[in-house]
Each structure stands twice: as C-alpha cells, then as structure tokens.
Homo-oligomer: A and B are copies of this chain.
Amino acid sequence: MLGSPWCRGRFRDAGFRLTLPRQAILNVFIRNPKHLSAEEVFLLLHKDYPGIGLATVYRTLDLLTQMGLIFKFDFGDGRSRYELADETIKAHHHHLICTRCGRIIDYSDFAEKEKKFIKELETELSKKYKFKISSHQVHFYGLCEECQ
C-alpha cells in the first residue's frame, strides 16, 4: 500500500506531499489494525521516528481522515480514535465498548444482515430528511466479560 504508486498518486492528486511522517503514520495503522488514539500513534511512532511531533500526528490524522484513508471515531471517553479505512471497515464492522474498562471489541459478524438493514435505513432517511449520508457508526455500550 505504502510504496505503491497508488498511495503516492492519492496524495499528489489531492495536492498534498507524501512526506516521511505521513508515510510513517500510515504504516503505524497498517501494522496495528486497532482503534488508535493520537497519543498511541505518537508513542508507537516514537520508537522508530523520535523526531516526529505530536502536532504533526494530529495534523496528519486529520489529513488522512479527510482523504478517506482512515476513519475517525469517538467512543465518548474524551479522546478520538482512528482506524485504517480498509475492507474491514467497508464490511461494516462495528463496536462494543466496555463502559468500565474502556475495552473496545470489534465485530463484523452479522455483516450481511446488518449491511442490508443499514442500507435500507439510509435510503429511507436520505429521502425523508433530504440528508446526504456519507457514513455511520453503531456503538453498543455495556460491560465486557471480565468487568461484569
């Protein structure tokens, strides 16, 4: 994904430069398919690239989100989390959030059923509220196995 002309082209076409920090940050997501906070990205990055600052991480996360390469989530714990926008996401994977320990569980089961349902709902909502829907989030809150 990274060295590929696709990635470079994606940046060039959008009028952005493919810099080292941007490549490195994208790499963090490729190697860590998780819901990373800005600080987590910064720390993971710091091992190999101690020179990259937190501000750059925030600016890059914002850029990548705008470019659609990553998705931004807010689980209500006061910090944003980001995730690579790959097939996993496209397959409508959603989240279970433990309100006690903060653990986040992905699930992509029931994807077909869910996809169909969401699709229908989006169509109806778009029509009724003249709303152009571009994305959605489904969060279930509760207690994970250990916290019960």
Give residues in A with beta carbon < 8 Å to B. 72-76, 80, 96, 98-99, 105, 107, 109-110, 114, 117, 121-122, 124-125, 128-145, 148
Q: How far is the CB of A136 from chain B (nearest CB, A)?
A: 5
- Chain B residue with minimal CB distance to A106? B129
**Docked-complex contact A142 and B132, CB < 8 angstroms:** yes
Contacts A134-B141, A137-B139 supplied; 13 other A-B pairs, CB < 8 Å: A73-B76, A74-B76, A76-B80, A96-B131, A105-B131, A109-B125, A122-B140, A130-B144, A131-B142, A133-B141, A135-B141, A136-B139, A137-B141
**Docked-complex contact A138 and B138, CB < 8 angstroms:** yes
Report the Cα distance A137→B139, complex, angstroms: 5
